[in-house]
Chains A and B, each alone.
Chain A
Amino acid sequence: MSENRHFTTRRGFITGMGFGAVGLYGVWAAYGAAPLPFGNHHETLHQGHGDAAGTLGHAGADHDAGSAMTPEAFRREHAAFVDRFKRPDGSVEPVAGQAVSHDTGHHDMNAHDMGHHDVDAHDMGYHDMDAHGAGHHDMNAHGAEDGHDMSGHAMSHTAHGADADQPVDLYLLAFMWGYNPDILRLRTGVRYRLRMMADDITHGASFQLGAASRIIRLRPDSVSDQIITFTKPGTVLIYCTVYCGAGHDQMQGKIIVTASEQGGQP
């Protein structure tokens, strides 16, 4: 019966058309976002690679061994960070330049240590491992090519020299119902390593960036890392995008971004 059929009414044609949406892969590829399996070939565009898994303590991720920042470590670092950089008006402004110059030449010089002058040797050792672990993880996730803009590159290959490419560490704790710190003062052009965690239940920490937002979901006691750089000055609303109870609507913070003097690393 099918010899007389027009090709549009043949089963093979219908089957082929059924897979039409797979053609969207071409658009993904054009934006460097084609998900080739086993990920050795990621382009680094502005979008992230979703590798926060590697910095978590969860056994769920497949390449995070040894790189976990425990919730306890996060809380300790977070408290030190807020302590160190709190301004009289209550906002928190990490001053990367100071910390970096203070530590210049130190083997373990990285922004991680800046809030942290009173740590004991044990703690220091812990953080060394932490930094390495995170670096290795990032390498795995991104593939090692074109690592110029990558945290993994920065962390594991250049952390031993005094290098202006070091990201500055930020800590943001989400809780019912707010953020700590709730006002961050940051600079354009500076690479920050934003470490985030939810304290009690799941929250979001979404950044309203004008035309759109960047959404992140924070599970309790799971540390998420992102390397972020603001390219324009302005005020960014931080708001919770995961319903978290009666005060959810009021949960907000802000980042005040000002232009760096030289528009680059401090």
Chain B
Amino acid sequence: MNAPLPSLSDRVSALPGCDKALVRVLFGASLLALALGVGFGWLTALGRAGVAVFEPQQAARLLTLHGVTVFFYWLYLAQTALLLVLAGAERNGGGLALRSLAWIGGALMLAGFAVSEIASITGTPLLYDGGPALGRDDPAAVGWFSLGYLLLGAGLAASSASAIATVITRRNGGAGGALSAVGFALFAWAGFLIVSAIAAVNAFLPSVLWALGRGAFPANQPTEWHILFHNLHYLPLMATVVVWYVLVQALTGVSSMHGARFSKIVFASYLLFVPPTSLYHMFLEPNLSETVRVVGSLLSLFVAVPTVMAFLIIVSSLEAHGRSRGASGRLGWVGALPWKNPVMAAIACAALNLGLGLTFAFVLIQEKLAPLFSDTFFVPGYFHFFAVGTVSLSFLAAMMVVLPALTGSAPWRPALLCRMPAVISLGLLIFGAAGIAAGYAGVPRRTFDISYGGGAPALWHTLMTAVGIGGTVFALGLTVLVLGVARSLLPGPKDSVVQQPVVSWGDTPLRSQVAAWTGPAGVVLVVVAMALFTIVAFDLMNALPLTVIGGGGHSH
């Protein structure tokens, strides 16, 4: 194990000024992207609920802006900022290596942000996947839109290279010069981000070339897109788990009781499981072979292995330490956590939302159920549990620790922020339950006017109204949280007096034979829920007044 480091906050405040400036810019840009994206998303939800009526073209533009802004720029800017600041903190005082590359990367990503937003506002709306078929008559729109993602990819690669260099040239290296568990996780995460950049080039360079008149029409773009897309939603989960690992240590002093090597194996397993599990996005593609479809479905069962293992490492270590300190009862150790700290509230809600997201993700990976759900509102219904409830809450939680350390400002109204994760989760629960039910009922995913001249079931409208209500609740909670977090970016009242509550369980020696059942019980609960909703889906499908042989299903 490595020599104990000063606290995360201390290491972040010890970063050189120029590194602090860079990550402040990146955090600020990411929060801007989140705020904009939440706004676009909220309008989208109102449109879907029928409360606001948009011209078809404007509705598609809103959807495009929402997806591009949150899915690409919020998630990638936040990841880059967190990666760099944690890598810098890992180096303990040395600051970023290859600093100029990190700055160039940041500049490229911001340029990409601007290009993508402008292209989405002015061009033919292409949705966030930038499908060139929709812009066949508007090559300029396709070209600029795709260029935005290429710039983002180039920026990601450059920033990640700096993070990698930073982690491996860390001072105060541990025994044998091995990386710490967190250092290794940052290293693997940065490598994965570079792969994302490669996937972006693979998917979007042909579109740019076509727009320039230098290449054929990129008819394969939808297939190439799904490779990027798979990275895109796998990566933030890995980042989330790394963030939990770091934050739990900061909140409680507890690091894994299972040793650094085991954590490293789990982080490495993210990378091992990515490529084999990527096929389920293709299930509805008519030209996917049956063999690939079947094997893809089987392999997808393994998609959550690293996440569940990382969750269990963290929770069992916490529970064992909490119980060793004398916490009793089934959940006594949970009650003893620092709940007055908004960071704690956020990561706890993130863990619950992860369970909900996983439950429904595993209904969708069954290739025979894909024709029931793909391209319905089931998809946004469940993935907001991940994107908002798990990933965004975790990233914001990390920012609540990191930003005050960067700027020296006190956290803004922690008592208020402490409630926001629950508000957001409640909104998500309404949004997700109604959205998933709407998916089961067949509500199309990207259609604003779902009346079909009276041909659609009346239930569709009711469910989408509930989606609008849930969306409004979590958009409000998220806005308050974003503003509160962003407040710490600016210089403000000093945080010398009010230290956020933490506990220090790390020094407690572990009692022998101390059990940790909470995590495993949670996993069992989630698997039972997966089975239940899968059964509901099969029964629903088998009860339909139509029997079908042939045809595929796909999630996109």
Contacts and interface: CB of A to CB of B under 8 A. Distances in A.
Given a CB threshold of 8 Å, the question of whether A touches B is answered with: yes
A49 B530 contact: no
A241 to B, nearest CB: 4
A94 to B, nearest CB: 17
Count chain B CB atoms within 10 A of each CB in A14, A23, A26, A204 and give the residue with the most: A14
A212 B553 contact: no
B308 A214 contact: no
A228 B543 CA distance: 14
Interface stretch (B94-102, B190-198, B360-368, B415-423): B360-368
Given A6-B513, A248-B447, A252-B453, A48 B551 contact: yes
Count chain B CB atoms within 10 A of each CB in A18, A219, A248, A249 and give the residue with the most: A18
Nearest to B447: A249
Count chain A CB atoms within 10 A of each CB in B294, B531, B551 and give the residue with the most: B551
Interface stretch (A31-39, A69-77, A80-88): A31-39
Interface in B506-556: 512-517, 519-520, 523-524, 526-527, 530-531, 534-535, 538, 540-554
A212 B541 CA distance: 7
Nearest to A13: B520
A24 B540 contact: no
A63 B442 CA distance: 31
Interface in B426-451: 440-442, 444-450
Contact of A240 (B371, B374, B444, B549): B444
A19 B309 CA distance: 8
Interface stretch (A107-115, A117-125, A229-237): A229-237
A18 B517 CA distance: 14
A52 B446 contact: no
Interface in B128-153: 131, 133-134, 136
Given A27-B535, A63-B289, A150-B549, A18 B309 contact: yes
A98 to B, nearest CB: 24
B308 A51 contact: no
B453 to A, nearest CB: 7
Given A24-B301, A37-B298, A216 B552 contact: yes
B444 A48 contact: no
Given A6-B515, A209-B544, A210-B545, A61 B287 contact: yes
B446 A201 contact: no
A95 interface: no
A48 B316 CA distance: 42
B527 to A, nearest CB: 5
Interface in B285-311: 285-295, 297-298, 301-302, 304-306, 308-309
B375 A22 contact: no
A218 B127 CA distance: 18
A61 B368 CA distance: 18
A8 B520 CA distance: 8
B165 to A, nearest CB: 31
Interface in A234-248: 234-237, 239-248
B371 A215 contact: yes
A35 B287 contact: no
28 contacts: A6-B515, A8-B316, A11-B258, A14-B313, A18-B312, A23-B527, A24-B301, A26-B531, A31-B535, A33-B366, A33-B368, A35-B293, A36-B298, A44-B549, A48-B550, A49-B290, A50-B551, A52-B550, A53-B290, A62-B291, A202-B131, A208-B455, A210-B457, A213-B372, A215-B373, A228-B548, A232-B545, A239-B455
Count chain B CB atoms within 10 A of each CB in A13, A47, A242 and give the residue with the most: A47
Nearest to A39: B294
Interface of B: 56-57, 60, 63, 127, 131, 133-134, 136, 222, 257-258, 262, 283-295, 297-298, 301-302, 304-306, 308-309, 312-313, 316, 320, 358, 362, 366-376, 440-442, 444-450, 452-453, 455-457, 512-517, 519-520, 523-524, 526-527, 530-531, 534-535, 538, 540-554
A22 B368 contact: no
A28 B366 contact: yes
Interface in A245-266: 245-250, 252, 254, 257
Given A21-B301, A53-B289, A220-B133, 20 more contacts: A17-B309, A20-B527, A21-B530, A24-B531, A50-B283, A50-B368, A61-B288, A62-B290, A208-B455, A211-B440, A212-B541, A215-B370, A216-B553, A224-B551, A228-B547, A239-B456, A242-B375, A243-B63, A246-B56, A254-B455
Interface residues of A, number: 98
A40 to B, nearest CB: 11
A250 B455 CA distance: 11
A4 interface: yes
Interface in A160-218: 201-202, 204, 206-218
Contacts of A236: 546
A239 B512 CA distance: 62
A165 B434 CA distance: 42
Contacts of B372: 212-215
A24 B303 CA distance: 12
